[in-house]
Amino acid sequence: MAIKRLENLFKVCFLLSTTLILVQNGFILSLFAVYGIWRVTQKPFQHFTAWIFGGTLAASILFILALHPPLTSDFQTLFQTARDIITHNFSYQSSTYFSLWAYQTAFVVWEAFWLLLWDNPVCIELVGAVLTAGTACLLYRLSRQWVSERSAQTASLLLAVCPLFATFHTLLTNQIPSAFFLTLALWLLACSDCNRLGFLRFPLAGLALQAGNLLRNEGVIFLTAILAWSVFHLVRHPREIRRMGTGMIVLLTVYFSVHAGASASIRASGLNPYGLQNGNPLWKFVTGLSYEANGGYSDEDWSRIAATLDEHRQTTAETDALQKQMITERLTAEPSIMIRHIRNKLRSQWVSDGLSWVFADFSMQHPFFYGLIKQFDRGIFFIALGLFSYGLSDKKRWENRPQAARLPYFIFFAAFCAFLLVEVQPRYAYLPQLYVFTGATFGIERLREEKNHA
């Protein structure tokens, strides 16, 4: 008996020592987290929609209390402009930022609306917390119709513990409300929860889609995904071409009409004489093809282009000619240079974490824990990405799934292709990463079924 107790004591001490070593690495912690979630969801939770909303909202509020990212860069510009609108100070209209990229005015109006209720950045953060929880619910409701409850709940919990998703609302970024409305559009269009809406789901989806696009102009990614889905759907169900075709026409009509109406309203209200136009659409391509900046913002590029703007800070023929020349030169570079550039952009967009903005102060005060969080974030994402890919390779199961189940893959791939050409930052991956986690449900489902049949 004594020797057994001694052996058991040694085993406990040994496991404790190895555990203490392992938990010093965030990637290992992400494996522990995934395993824990897998075990917890062996049986599905009842009323999970309420649980995921309440739990995500509570955690989001705690992060608002714990993290205080500084207002810098575009976040500061947009927030201050929202305050200026409230005080009827329209001096921002003379800036290059709002004359050239007038579409940013929509998000400024969004912030100004909430600041009218409480003139404090925390107000916008709280709105972001609610919308983050709402996005988690909508993604869960979408995925649960394609896979079992257990798999959908497992993927939802993986998303909930992902640091980027859990903390990003503490930034005053337009990505949070935009992602909510874009996801709402998909829920209206493709979720069985909305079957009672009938044909009405198409115009409502178009409205929600444009709402998300007005806040951050990423609607084209979702439009591409939705059109790809409709093509796949019609190939399998050609008899529905009249309903689906009419629905897509109505969706697009609402989508573009709402944008035109919103732009006209901005002009008429005097908030911006340029409405919501993008005064320099080529700039994102110039930036995205900047080899020196790895597809990010380049001061040197901007200095060259800014020198060609007219007195109203609008592009000229010289601006367009210069930008087209820069784009052509970069697209026709040696293949080795282009390959290296693409590799650098992929690392920046998908391999690097987007937490530096959120944890700017925390990283200086607690560098060790910040390193763990960064590793944990990437570990959770890479696991989700692996499950995402693993689920798509299961041909047999896809034969019985609706074509709408491919929407997460279409969204990710559309974003992946777009970011090969335009400007990248690690935080720009926030939106497509949401759908990586949603699509991870298919990999989780496949693993669970294979485990049950083993």
What's the rounded Cα separation, in Å, for the pair 307 and 370? 41
| Count of helices and strands (H, E) across the chain | 22, 0
Using alpha carbons only, what angle is made at residue 172 by residues 273 and 162, rounded to the nearest 5 degrees?
A: 140
Identity of the residue numbered 246: T
Which of 2, 3, 11, 27 is closest to 375 using CA atoms? 27
pLDDT of 104 reads 95
The pLDDT value given to residue 252:
96
Pair 430, 381: CB distance under 8 Å: no
Closest to 332 in 3D by CA, of 277, 371, 287, 291: 291
Count Cβ atoms below 10 Å from residue 40 Cβ, excluding itself.
12
Residues 155/156/158/159 CA torsion (nearest 10 deg): 120
Q: Which residues of the chain have pLDDT under 70?
A: 1, 454
| Angle value at C-alpha 131, between 130 and 137, nearest 5 degrees | 95
Q: What per-residue confidence (pLDDT) applies to 408?
A: 96
DSSP helix/strand/coil, 290: coil
What gap in Å lies between CA 226 and CA 229, rounded to an integer? 5
Q: Can you give the pLDDT at residue 23? A: 75
Burial grade of 77 (CB within 10 A; 0-12, 13-18, 19 or more): middle
Instruction: Answer yes or no: are the C-beta atoms of 410 and 225 closer than 8 Å.
Output: yes
The per-residue pLDDT for 15 is 82
What pLDDT score does 1 carry? 66
In this structure, which amino acid lies at residue 120? N
Q: Do the Cβ atoms of 423 and 288 come closer than 8 Å?
A: yes
Nearest to 130 by CA among 70, 180, 78: 180
Cα–Cα nearest to 212, from 430, 377, 421, 436: 430
Residue 147 contacts residue 153 (beta carbons within 8 Å): no
Specify the DSSP class assigned to residue 173.
-
Residue 6 has a pLDDT of 79
Residue 442: the pLDDT is 96
Q: DSSP secondary-structure letter at 291?
A: T
- pLDDT for the residue 454: 60
Length of the chain: 454
**In whole angstroms, how far apart are CA 195 and each of 146, 199, 201, 202?**
15, 9, 8, 11
Are the beta carbons of 276 and 102 closer than 8 angstroms? yes
